[in-house]
Amino acid sequence: MNSPRVLVTGAGRGIGRAIALRFAREGAEVVLTARTLPQIEAVAAEIAAAGGRALAVPMDVTDLASVEEAMHRALAFTSGTLDVLVNNAGAFTIVPFAEMSPATWYRLVAVNLNGPFHVTLLALKGLERSARGHVINVSSLAGKMPFPGSLAYCTTKYGLRGFSDALRLELASKGIRVSTIYPGATDTSIFDGVPGPWDRASMNRPEDVAEVVWQAFDAPPETDVADLDVPPPTQLA
C-alpha cells in the first residue's frame, strides 16, 4: 500500500502536531497547515530530520480564499490525491453566557464549524481520488455533553458532530470514511490562558489523541470508526 497522503489543520502545536508526527512515523506524506507559519515549518523540519516528507502551508480555516490557496499547494504536493483529512484546528474559551460577547461567539463558530466546512469542501476532490479517503474530525467530549461556561464551545462541537454524521451519509457512496474523535481534557497550550483549577498532570497527552486518529485510519474497512473516544490516562497506563 502506498504511503498515505495526509493534511492536518492546526498542525503547529498540541494535538495537530502530534497527529502529524504519528502519521509521519508510518511513512505518510504530511501537509501541515496553520495560521502561524514558523510553527508548522518547525514541525516539517522535525519530520524531515527523521527521514519523512512534509510541507508547511499557511492556512486560516475561517477564510475560504486562504483555504483555497493552501489546498492548491497541498494537492500539488500530494499529486492531486488526499487519503486523509484531519480537521483539528479549533478555538476554545470559557466564559459565562451572560458575559459572552458576540465577537467570541462568532469566532468559535468561524473556527470550529466554518473551518471544517471550508477545508472539507475544498479537499473533497483530492479525497475522491483516493481508494481509502478518510475525513477525521477532532471534536471534544463537549460535543457529547454540556459544560458550564462553555456554551459557545459546546454548541460548535455538537455542531461538528452533526456535520460528521451527515457527511458520513453523503460520502459513503464514494467510499470515503468519516470519523469523529472525542478527546477529553488534553494538556496543550490551549489551557495556558484559561482560568480555573485545571489539573493538567491528570489530562491526556496530545499523543493519546494522535494514536486514536491513526487507529481510525488504519482500521480494516469493516470496523466501525464513526465515533471514537480517547481513553483516559488511567486506562492507557
29-34 and 5-9 strand pairing: parallel
Catalytic residue flag (residue 153): yes
Task: Extract the runs of DSSP E, i.e. beta strands, from 52-206.
Answer: 53-58, 84-87, 134-138, 177-182
Task: Give CA 205 to chain center in angstroms.
Answer: 15
**Helices 151-171 and 115-128 sit at what angle, rounded to 10 degrees?**
20
Pick the catalytic residue: 106, 153, 158, 182? Answer: 153
- DSSP-based three-state secondary structure for 34: strand
Residue 124 C-alpha cell reads as 473533497
- DSSP-based three-state secondary structure for 174: helix
Task: Give CA 108 to chain center in angstroms.
Answer: 15
Residue 142 C-alpha cell reads as 463537549
Active site residues: 153
